[in-house]
Amino acid sequence: MEGGKRVKRFVRRVTPKSAGMRLDTYIHVSGAGVSRTQIQRAIKEGRVLVNSRVARASYRVKAGDLIEADIEYYDPPSEILPEEGEVDVIYEDEEIIVINKPPGAVVHPAKGHLTGTIVNLLYNRLLNAPGAERKRPGIVHRLDKDTSGVMVIGKSERAVRDLAKQMATKEAKRIYMAVVWGRVEKAGTVEAPIGRHPIYRERMAITLINAKSAITDYKPLEVFSYATLLEISLRTGRTHQIRVHMEYLGHPVIGDPVYSGRDMGKITGVLKGRNAPVEKVLSLINRQALHAYRLIIRHPKSGKLMEFEAPLPDDMKNLLNFLRIST
């Protein structure tokens, strides 16, 4: 199927339950079916009206507001194709499927990765599942290609809407483990705005230009002589947030190829003269040592609070074992 630019018409009347939400968040969690970036672009271009007037993304919707939007989006040049392959399923019922995403796996088809993604594999699984309401997997949150760990996917329209809202409002809790360079001996919080890097557009950075607030909490689980295993939780959900904030803290994630985790000059500065087998450590992991190990959600149908964990992958286990014996 040929791709191209499309326009999606969105019209909703705000219910009392949704009152108080930001306009961009409200549209995103109300089933618009497009990305938050596309919604924000439409708002910025004046193609989103509240009660027939142009409004800002930060506008807090009120009960009874009429939201009308024409949102441009891009159809990918190829249809998503179902593909056979193994998926590490932690839990599944008629509403949701929870998986343990391996490092190196791309979540959604995009330019350069049209096949072999988590979506391709789950699409095949859902097509062959009798009675499934939704055949295409409903992705409500993502992990970077080289970040491993637990993800939840919606199998029904209700689940997709409800889970997306839980993610947007941070009702859902995502907790990570990261191994960082240097000794972090106390728990703390990083609060620093994140936006697109002004020069390297594929990167994010701490900046005040077109940035969004970002807050990350961390606490040490194990402190080694030249590295630390951290538990990290997010109060906001910005692109590359943990990786950017750890670099900003002065403790980049070990192995991170973008945010100083493999930069010998930066690593030497972090270690402050402390002897460490840096090259050996980097040979043990060829990605950022970051794993989404726990997810807490409310089940979209039963309302029951559910908690899922994904065990550490082998490369992070090997890294930690080496740190324990070399400290």
Closest by Cα among 134, 136, 129, 128 to 109: 136
CB of 285 closer than 8 Å to CB of 255: yes
CB of 159 closer than 8 Å to CB of 170: no
Cβ neighbourhood burial of 187 (10 Å; 0-12, 13-18, 19+):
exposed
CB of 57 closer than 8 Å to CB of 20: no
CA distance 39 to 33: 10
CB of 244 closer than 8 Å to CB of 194: yes
Q: Which helix (H) or strand (E) holds 66?
A: strand 66-75
CA distance 158 to 175: 25
CA distance 184 to 222: 9
**Marked catalytic residue, from 24, 144, 146, 162:** 144
Angle (CA) 135-139-144 rounded to 5° is 140
SS3 content of the chain, % helix, strand, coil (to 5): 25, 30, 45
Closest by Cα among 168, 140, 143 to 152: 140
Judge whether 144 counts as a catalytic residue. yes
Three-class DSSP category at 174: strand
Give catalytic residues, as residue numbers: 144
